[in-house]
Structure 1
Amino acid sequence: MPKKPLPAGPRTATEIAFERIWTTIERIPHGRVATYGQIAEVAGYVRRPRLTAQALRHVPDGREIPWFRVINAQGRIAIPANSRGHREQQRRLEAEGVSFEKGRVDLSRFRWRPRSEAPVVD
């Protein structure tokens, strides 16, 4: 899916939020997952899981974000089942040792638990 570029010019509050979310996602270690809401909260945006989804739609070309480590609060891949993106996300997670049981990741086992859940700051 093509990325929607952010407008040029001074950084907006949305651009700052996206940068904080991307930086938070980059901290998720190999073999761990985080939920959309968890990412938003760690980035300083409590109860804003959709902001995480929006940020993932705007990742700049060339920036390597481990997008596949972000899943929904039920431990499921949010991309529609049987789509190429869903298969790719599951394949990448399984390659890192994350297992699925009936389409779900056991969050008690694989959830990323950052040492500090203090918001990411610039």
Structure 2
Amino acid sequence: MAPKPNASDTPAAARQRILAAVRAIPAGEVAGYGEVARRAGLPGRARLVARILSAGDEPGLPWHRVLRSDGRIAFPEGSEGFDEQVQRLRSEGVRVEAGRVRGQRAAPTLDEMLWAPPAVKR
């Protein structure tokens, strides 16, 4: 017999957890789509995060703090969304150059923390 799904397994509950994870990113900081999914308890669901954010139907959501895992803005350069995201990030003191956040990186995934080679100290 299959386990009975609980309320936390519903699409609406997943959406609410993702929105809460995005709201929890402090001003001046960023996180990758995959990291947002992980923080929401939905590892591996980066595309779901992107789909929910692309709806743009949540007023006041700091969507601009969510980037690709390599620190790049996902919108095409020169698009209205790209320009707005750059402006919002810069207004929070985030350094953005050529569509990429500089000086900080999106939070690493659990795999990166466990399996990435150690950083070289200079």
Q: Same fold (TM over 0.5)?
A: yes
In structure 1, what residue type is equivalent to 2:92? E
Aligned equivalent of 1:6? none
8 Å Cα contact 1:20-1:43 kept in structure 2: yes
8 Å Cα contact 1:76-1:103 kept in structure 2: yes
Structure having the larger proportion of residues in helix: 2
Aligned equivalent of 1:78? 74
Aligned equivalent of 2:97? 101
Q: How far apart are the structure 1 equivalents of 2:54 and 2:78?
A: 20
Determine which structure has more spread, i.e. the larger CA radius of gyration. Answer: 2
TM-score between both structures, scaled by the size of structure 2? 0.73
Q: How far apart are the structure 2 equivalents of 1:109 and 1:59?
A: 25
Structure 1 stretches lacking a partner, 5+ long: 1-9, 114-122
Equivalence map 1:42-61=2 (5 Å)? 42-61=39-58
Aligned equivalent of 1:65? 61
Structure 2 stretches lacking a partner, 5+ long: 1-6, 109-122
Q: State the identity %.
A: 39
Q: How many residues were matched structurally?
A: 102
Deviations 1:53-109 (A, max 9, x none): 111134545x31100000001101001111011000000001101002333113x62
Q: How far apart are the structure 2 equivalents of 1:31 and 1:110?
A: 12
Runs of 4+ in 1 over 6 A off after TM superposition: none
Q: Relative contact order (C-alpha < 8 Å, sep 6+): which is higher?
A: 1
TM-score between both structures, scaled by the size of structure 1? 0.73
Q: Do the aligned partners of residues 82 and 20 (structure 1) sit closer, same or farther apart at CA in structure 2, a change above 3 Å counting?
A: same
Cα offset for 1:11? 9.4
In structure 1, what residue type is equivalent to 2:98? K
**Aligned Cα root-mean-square deviation (Å):** 2.3
Aligned equivalent of 1:40? 37
In structure 1, what residue type is equivalent to 2:12? E
